[in-house]
Structures are given as structure tokens and as C-alpha cells.
Amino acid sequence: MRSPKAAAVKDPDWILRNKGDLIDAALRKGVREALLLHKERGKPVVIERNGEIVWVPADELLRD
């Protein structure tokens, strides 16, 4: 038996067209949580900056 939520959304593209802001917010929240975890553990993160791959030290993550 399908859940009510699955039955309500028969067109997955509808979500992308109409709820993109919610998807963006969820992605931002997930990335922020992952960066905070890396910072807490003292682990650097690899990012792309100006076309180059660089390591960002944990103490530089999410500076205000």
C-alpha cells in the first residue's frame, strides 16, 4: 500500500518546479551541518575556489 504522501505526488517534476526553494533550503542546512561536524572534529574540507581545488582548514570553516 502506498503512503498518502506518495499518492499525493504523482509527478516528481512538480516538486522541482514548485518547491525548489524548499529543496535549496534543505541542501543549505545539510551542508552547514556537515561543515559544522568537520569543524567540531578538526577536519579540513576540500572545495573548489576560483577554478582550483583547495583545502580549507577546520578553523576557517563557517567564519562569521
Residues 4-32: tens digit of each pLDDT? 565 566 677 888 888 889 999 999 999 99
The answer to whether the predicted template modeling score (pTM) of the entire model surpasses 0.75 is no
Spell out where 1-64 has E strands.
Answer: 45-49, 52-56
Q: What is the pLDDT of residue 62?
A: 85
Judged against a pLDDT cut of 70, whether residue 38 lies above it is answered with yes
pLDDT in tens, 40-60: 999 999 999 999 999 999 999
Geometric angle at alpha carbon 31, from 39 and 11, rounded to 5°: 165
Q: What pLDDT is stored for residue 39 in this prediction?
A: 93
